[in-house]
Amino acid sequence: MGKQYDLVIIGAGPGGYVAAKKAAKLGMSVAIIDKGDVGGTCVNRGCIPTKALIYSATLYRDMVDCEKFGLYAKDVGFDLQKIYEYKSLSAETMRKDLEHEFAGLGIISVRGTATVQNDRRVRVAREDGMTEYFTGKYILIATGAKARMIDIPGMDLPGVMTSEELLLSNESRYPRLLILGGGVIGIELATVFNALGGKVTIVEVSDRLLPNMDKEFSDTLEEILTKRGIRIYKESILEEVAKKEEGLKCRYVYQGKNRETEVDAVLVSVGRTANTEGLFDPDVPIRMENGRIVVDDFFATNIPGIYAVGDVVGGIQLAHVASAQATYVVERMNDVPPSVIVEMVPSCLFVPISIVPSCLYTDPEIASVGITEEEAQRKGVPIRCGRYVMDVNGQSIISKEEQGFIKILFAADSDVILGAQLMCPRATDMIGELATAIANGLTSSQLMYAMRAHPTYNEAISCAVENSRDSKPDRSAYLLR
């Protein structure tokens, strides 16, 4: 039978480690298994190292441009090796904190490759060649996803990589970088290498960057990135990568014409696929569709006692979604009332809307929650939209970060908040207030009850809400200037 636990978790990323800590605090015996480091992709080769690089690059750009504050800095430069060391240290610090928490809670952490067998038994092939067996009252699968590659010539050449490979690197510098994909990961890393002086090209198959984002924000972001020197080719298809004597040659189709660009590296950022390879023995009758594990509304698989959360089940592929789902599952296992939700049906609608914040750590930051103006139009939902441009916000004037705006959507009849999109400094922090407002069905009147300090970026929320309440808002006064 092997070692027995109340809960055996496969995958130690944001879904797995949150589930482990929650279960241990509720008195369950827990074993968590991962073939890599604790923290999974997010901590080790995803969210944390990416944001560390963004922080370094943004500081460097601010130092170079500090004359606007009356400051002068001579010989401003950077050491890419030290930036990478800082990036690695950030991941290491968080990883060690998690390991310390596991030890304190009595969670057994096992490093090895897990395979689910029948009767809720898990076989683990350890790095040292030994094999162990674990049996759980429950099994939770949180193996996440891996970067997807595309089938075109040259994808196996040195210098062609995924974001995970790039973020694990500690030595490479890319003066000329082509990024395939204009989604969140691609754009964030484009801003990093652009800020550090690299020549960056983005090739995106869609007709806009961030296809799932509000179009007004996509267009504004494209304008900002283009002004910074990033070349953007939309509705384009990369057809081949070839080896040159120095670097790589990329051939792609743009506006019906063949184009070529010579670069030092290619970053492939075209989405992620569920990480299920070798996860189940052949005789385990797990139900899967398109490589993803199928679960019901309670994240239960078709096999009693086995659950799955996060990227491995598809849906919204964000770390905080995996964590919320994991918390929900463990609470249900212990008959504890759920403390988290990821979507709700407002009183004025007949369809659920997401209350999951989506964040982009560019400069300015972008954050979104709920429905967008375009979605509301597609669904036939009458709305009022409040807008506020940040160039007259006091804190934006002080920091000279005046590009950006805020949009907040309310149901036209019931006045309930349905969505919000922010493009401004601290947007990724400010979006939490609006997600809370949607989750609690607040109206514009209720949002105005709370005072917001002056001068702050956050007070712009009050201005956007107030704009939505104007009987005849002057839209021309709120256009991006």
Give the catalytic positions in this structure: 454
The CA-CA-CA angle for residues 76, 78, 82, to 5°, reads 150
Check: CB of residue 50 under 8 Å from CB of residue 189.
yes
Looking up tokens 């400051």 gives 71
Check: CB of residue 316 under 8 Å from CB of residue 149.
no
Count CA within 13 A, CB hemisphere, residue 427.
28
Count CA within 13 A, CB hemisphere, residue 375.
20
What is the Cα–Cα distance from 34 to 219, expressed in whole angstroms?
40
Check: CB of residue 460 under 8 Å from CB of residue 425.
no
Q: What is the DSSP string of 404-435?
A: -EEEEEEETTT-BEEEEEEESTTHHHHHHHHH
Name the token pair of 87: 């990036």
- Reported as type and span, the H/E element at residue 354 is strand 353-354
Q: Is 357 helix (H, G, I), strand (E, B) or coil?
A: coil
Question: Beta-strand (E) ranges in 416-468?
Answer: 417-423
Rg (CA), the chain: 24
- Reported as type and span, the H/E element at residue 61 is helix 47-64
What is the Cα–Cα distance from 242 to 115, expressed in whole angstroms?
38
Check: CB of residue 406 under 8 Å from CB of residue 417.
no
Contacts of 476 (CB under 8 A, 6+ apart): none
How many residues in total does the chain contain?
481
The amino acid sitting at 45 is R
What is the Cα–Cα distance from 409 to 211, expressed in whole angstroms?
20
DSSP 247: S
What is the Cα–Cα distance from 454 to 426, expressed in whole angstroms?
15
What is the Cα–Cα distance from 462 to 470, expressed in whole angstroms?
13
Burial class (CB in 10 A: 0-12, 13-18, 19+), 107: buried
Name the token pair of 239: 């057809």
